């Protein structure tokens, strides 16, 4: 489990079957979804802070070099190819051998505001059980792209807190949703001081 003292978020786009990836890349190209991703992962409330984005190696390599690293964000890349300590792999970007080494690195950073899990089905599905996961930003695309990599469904302990109007790009219809973890007394007692 990727445990961090910080509140975590997932940001993801899925098709009608919860598919997220096909043949090693995104199966769709929706500029407004890319803008939503960029705006959400860049947004901070204090100017001296930044957000972290956590991804797998395949995701990192799928980003065109001219856009790598994602600017204005601390880029964290997980791969068994890296050593057991954080490796500086590009400007404001670090490679990690394991989830644990990434977790330990993020715990020590004082310049972070939010941590976003941005790609990798393994990471997405693993993080769903993390007690610090607070928010899921989901773009739902109302079509089937016959993907070969999938996201699990939204956990029952999350509730929809907002959604956009349905939007259209060509024949594609899509919508933005935000889900938040349901707060229970037990959850608040256990994690109110651990996940800030």
Task: Give kind and range of the element (H or E) at residue 58.
Answer: helix 57-62
pLDDT at 122 (0 to 100) = 84
Q: What is the pTM of this model?
A: 0.90
Q: What is the model's pLDDT at position 4?
A: 43
Give the pLDDT confidence score for residue 99 in this predicted structure.
Answer: 75
What is the widest separation between alpha-carbon atoms in the chain? 48
Of the candidates 134, 151, 123, 136, the one whose C-alpha atom is nearest the C-alpha of residue 54 is: 123
Residue 125: in which H helix or E strand, if any? helix 121-127
Q: Say if CB 148 and CB 23 are below 8 A apart.
A: yes
Question: Which pLDDT score is estimated for 149?
Answer: 92
Asked whether the bond before 69 is cis by omega within 30 degrees of 0, the reply is yes
Whether 42 is covered by a domain: the verdict is yes
Residue 196 lies in a domain: no
Domain count, the chain: 1
Using CA atoms, how far apart are residues 178 and 190, in angstroms rounded to an integer?
24
In this structure, what CATH number is given to the domain that contains residue 30? 3.40.430.10
Between strands 112-119 and 50-56, the pairing is: parallel
Examine residue 53 and state whether it is found in any structural domain, yes or no.
yes
Strand 8-14 versus strand 50-56 pairing type: unpaired
176 domain residue, yes or no: yes
Asked whether residue 3 is assigned to any structural domain, the reply reads: no
Q: What is the pLDDT of residues 1-41, one digit of tens each?
A: 444 446 889 999 999 999 998 988 889 999 999 999 999 99
pLDDT tens track for 88-118? 999 999 999 987 788 789 988 999 999 999 9
Domain hosting 162: range is 8-191
CB-based contacts of 188: which residues, under 8 Å, 6+ apart?
A: none
Output b/e per residue, 23-45; b: 16+ Cβ within 10 A.
Answer: eeebbbebeebeebbeebbeebe
């Amino acid at each position: 489990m990727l445990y961090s003292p910080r509140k975590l978020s997932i940001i993801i786009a899925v098709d009608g079957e919860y598919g997220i990836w096909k043949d090693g890349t995104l199966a769709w190209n929706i500029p407004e979804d890319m803008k939503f991703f960029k705006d959400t992962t860049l947004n901070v409330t204090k100017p001296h802070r930044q957000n972290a984005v956590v991804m797998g190696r395949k995701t990192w390599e799928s980003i065109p070099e001219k856009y790598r690293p994602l600017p204005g964000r601390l880029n964290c890349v997980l791969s068994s190819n890296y050593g057991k300590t954080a490796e500086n792999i590009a400007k404001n970007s670090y490679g990690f051998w394991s989830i644990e080494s990434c977790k330990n690195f993020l715990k020590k950073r004082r310049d972070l505001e939010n941590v976003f899990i941005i790609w990798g089905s393994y990471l997405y599905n693993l993080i769903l059980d993390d007690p610090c996961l607070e928010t899921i930003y989901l773009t739902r695309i109302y079509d089937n792209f016959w993907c070969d990599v999938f996201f699990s469904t939204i956990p029952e302990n999350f509730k929809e807190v907002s959604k956009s109007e349905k939007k259209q790009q060509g024949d594609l219809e899509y919508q933005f949703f935000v889900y938040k973890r349901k707060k229970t007394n037990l959850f608040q007692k256990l994690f109110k001081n651990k996940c800030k």
